Structure 1
């Protein structure tokens, strides 16, 4: 066991997969932070579970198969490591394993190294899955090359017992294939005495296997005809020797019995386990003692009425079925490190493809966002400057973001060859440059009340329209603006009277402007402030003259702030005044 290799770096591949998944998830994919954290937690938990489960399975298989691996190491100690990795290794289970493996007196052996294969004994078919996994680890990631099922019909009390054993072996092979991730080619070796020739003499004459082996699955029974023809040819070669003739007849009988009793439970599709793919099957005139109670002897008597004579057991060791595996299908073996490298490349390719897709989606979102900002800016009329400035700020932020990418580099979520923001820079600059600051609102037109009204009165004096012409021109130049007409007085006289007088004078100016300009009265607002907002001191004649005034102002956004014409009740004309 000291020369075991590192095997497949499962943990390293899992860690690489997790790192790539988290990097793509957080850096590229268009997912919200909450969703990303939920998915990341799930990925990490699944990875931890996979590592823990794989570690437990490997440790359990190694512990349970420690004696088998120790025997393998001892038996193959003289073989180079590369040879024991590439030399076919076959698991042998079923009947008479002691007679097959014990080749040195009473020594219990679990392994045997033959001329063309390493044979590993598995006494209980249920142990096939764990032994197969342990062997794969021992062979640096290469699974066993096949499973031989040894069947000695004379050892079974009846066909029902044999059928149950065959189903058990089939299920074990199916479980082992599933755990290994590859199929295990099957080989059937029938050990049955076919002639009554003394066993020692038969062994001295040389035991011969009759069977068929192929690199493809045995799909039909026509291939067994060649086996019987070979036995008949041997009879002709020996000049009709009675022993050869008896062996040929018995061989034909046992082949038919095998087809009816053995092949069905192993390959039939009515069984729950996966059908076992058989690549070789052979029979040999060797086996345990046979008497009329064996299943095959009873089958011969039932079909031909002839009772096979009792036959003694063959001397041990019995030959391994080496001829059956000579046509073993060769599987391409890839070292675990090379497989891990291929898996790592596949993971990188998947992560790259996912990153490219995520980057494309992010670039689509970026283009859609900037396009929406450009469309909103272009749709806002120049008169709505406040909204237009807000849209302009959004364009400036977009332009600054694109400029930041150009200077410092595109982030991963927009890169991978998918970035399309650079062509938007001239478009954004043109849109930003197209913004024109609106002209400042016109200055307030201030009219001297004494040039418009007589002292204490709110009726325009004849000829006073010349003083209002300037205000009228300003109003006509901005027909979309609302107009506020406000009246003011000095502090001479009663404050309430001054307030009513200022309101009445504002109304009089408003009425003249409506008539002269044709602008609807609803676009005007009037306000009287009396003596509450002086612009000079009221202690001198000059100061009081400045405070007696009418101001006309354009109000851009006045509907909710300034009462319009008719909304404010006008003060009655006349009353005590401060001029």
Structure 2
């Protein structure tokens, strides 16, 4: 509830923070897509709940505080906003509020502007939380400066009834502090007739003075200020009790009054009412066994003014119980009674910042946090990009050249990386890599060099092996009639690839001399070439023949089967005539 600031654009700030969070999640932060959308849905749900609850609370607070705002507007309409926020505003609750506020008129007054403060009347202490929120709205986001509790002991039938009323007020102040998000300074004003001397409503020298203590901090601190005769007089209370200093101030007045009996009677009554206040009032408000937080007491004062007093009042019975002296009956003081202005002279001034300025500062802080997160997320994303591309480069480099399928897969990854970097260069870097963290442009030359270094392996040549025994007679190099049917498959292969060069190589077994076997293999290769040239129509310049004799056996020559395999003619289609495989026509070489 501490965030319920009626002058503060709470809903706008919630929506603004949610939009920043969604932008970071979905565009920048290094989280998986599924997790990002899950968190984004949660952010949207929380935002909607917060906006709805804030709207309901705002509307309810406006309804509950409408009469207070109307009274404030009617009474303090002439006050400018700057004075509204700088002038102390005190909520007054407790006893005898009509005597304090209804100054000579029949109409009930809720607000009194004057005496150095704006005094707001709270008839029911339970209304303090709602009224505090209304005041904060009326003052453009500044909470009340304090709560003054008016206590007239003569109006209570017993100490138990007074104690119960004090507990109600204490709980109300605790609830108001929680709703406003701050501890409200508390002030106690005791209105009790101490003497039978007449008082008037006019500000004369005979007006009863205020006695008490007030401070710019809680009364548990060492330095206090004593109130005397309506004026503040600084007194150091180190090592002494503050109420003892009050009594010394009253006794000093007795000495100054000479033979006047009123100050002496007032000092005697003041001593008894101070003791009664300590036991009954302060004890109830500071008792830590109660559920509500103890009241932060910053000032307490007593004045010889109040309702009619008789021997049945709680204070009178307390005096009789402790001194065996019964105070006489006294008439009520003339109205209006003075508001406890001297009590708030030392009131601390709140540090107040305009809600709009606070919202602007909070928006700047949110933007700064979002910017820091964006830079961090972009740095992480760029590191992930560099790591991934580096891994792709390492994988491509480590794959041996003979594993061409794996190298081609690695090459495709490099091409995709290069295309991604190129796309960023042409269309712009995405937000998740921006904010000055992008380093991908430096990888483009490295990727281009790696891609250009790839060389596809030479394709394997197409080879057709012909059995020489099915084409030639033993020791002959002329094709036998009908043997061309064995070369139909080779002819079809050559016609299907007319752009390839054709190598016709002859081989023999090791029977006979090496020279004769070499000449025989060359002759047989030439015979096959001539037939293929005639049958295919391919220029003879695209053919080459080679004789190897018995130098390249494919089986052992010690068996008939092995020698039969070695007697062969191989027709090979050579792709693109690579330089490392020179083709030479053996028919043009000497034997």
TM-score, normalising length from structure 2? Answer: 0.75
Cα distance, 1:9 vs. partner? 2.4
1:118 aligns with 2:118: yes
Cα distance, 1:21 vs. partner? 1.6
1:63 aligns with 2:63: yes
Cα distance in 1, alignment partners of residues 114 and 345 from structure 2? 12
Alignment of 1:384-463 (within 5 A): 384-444=403-463, 446-450=465-469, 460=509, 462=511
Q: Report the secondary structure of 1:513's partner residue.
A: coil
Cα distance in 1, alignment partners of residues 11 and 258 from structure 2? 67
Partner of 1:74 in structure 2?
74
Query: Pairwise CA RMSD of aligned residues?
Result: 3.1
Cα distance in 2, alignment partners of residues 124 and 466 from structure 1? 132
Residue in structure 2 matching 1:305, options 320, 324, 335: 324
Flag the 1:245–1:392 CA change in 2: closer, same or farther, 3 A: same
Cα distance in 2, alignment partners of residues 389 and 419 from structure 1? 28
Cα distance in 2, alignment partners of residues 61 and 43 from structure 1? 27
Partner of 2:208 in structure 1?
207
Using the TM superposition, name which of 224-233 and 435-444 deviates more: 435-444
CA contact 1:453–1:461 (8 Å) conserved in 2: no
Partner of 2:379 in structure 1?
360
CA contact 1:186–1:277 (8 Å) conserved in 2: yes
CA contact 2:195–2:266 (8 Å) conserved in 1: yes
Flag the 1:439–1:81 CA change in 2: closer, same or farther, 3 A: same
Alignment of 1:490-505 (within 5 A): none
Cα distance in 1, alignment partners of residues 37 and 367 from structure 2? 22
Cα distance, 1:133 vs. partner? 0.6
Cα distance, 1:208 vs. partner? 0.9
Unmatched 5+ stretches in structure 2 = 1-5, 222-239, 475-479, 484-507, 519-549, 558-564, 575-591
Alignment of 1:169-568 (within 5 A): 169-199=169-199, 205-219=206-220, 222-444=241-463, 446-450=465-469, 460=509, 462=511, 512-513=553-554
Cα distance, 1:291 vs. partner? 2.0
What number of residue pairs does the alignment pair up?
A: 480
Flag the 1:312–1:447 CA change in 2: closer, same or farther, 3 A: same
Cα distance in 2, alignment partners of residues 429 and 389 from structure 1? 15
Cα distance, 1:319 vs. partner? 0.5
Cα distance in 2, alignment partners of residues 466 and 45 from structure 1? 95
Cα distance in 1, alignment partners of residues 410 and 158 from structure 2? 92
Flag the 1:195–1:468 CA change in 2: closer, same or farther, 3 A: farther
TM-score, normalising length from structure 1? Answer: 0.76
Cα distance in 2, alignment partners of residues 77 and 467 from structure 1? 131
Cα distance, 1:550 vs. partner? 5.9
Cα distance in 2, alignment partners of residues 453 and 148 from structure 1? 134
Cα distance in 2, alignment partners of residues 107 and 95 from structure 1? 18
Partner of 1:155 in structure 2?
155
Cα distance in 2, alignment partners of residues 429 and 61 from structure 1? 68
Cα distance in 1, alignment partners of residues 341 and 203 from structure 2? 17
Cα distance in 1, alignment partners of residues 210 and 556 from structure 2? 128
Cα distance in 1, alignment partners of residues 513 and 412 from structure 2? 48
Cα distance, 1:90 vs. partner? 0.9
Q: Report the secondary structure of 2:353's partner residue.
A: coil
Partner of 2:85 in structure 1?
85
Cα distance, 1:20 vs. partner? 1.3
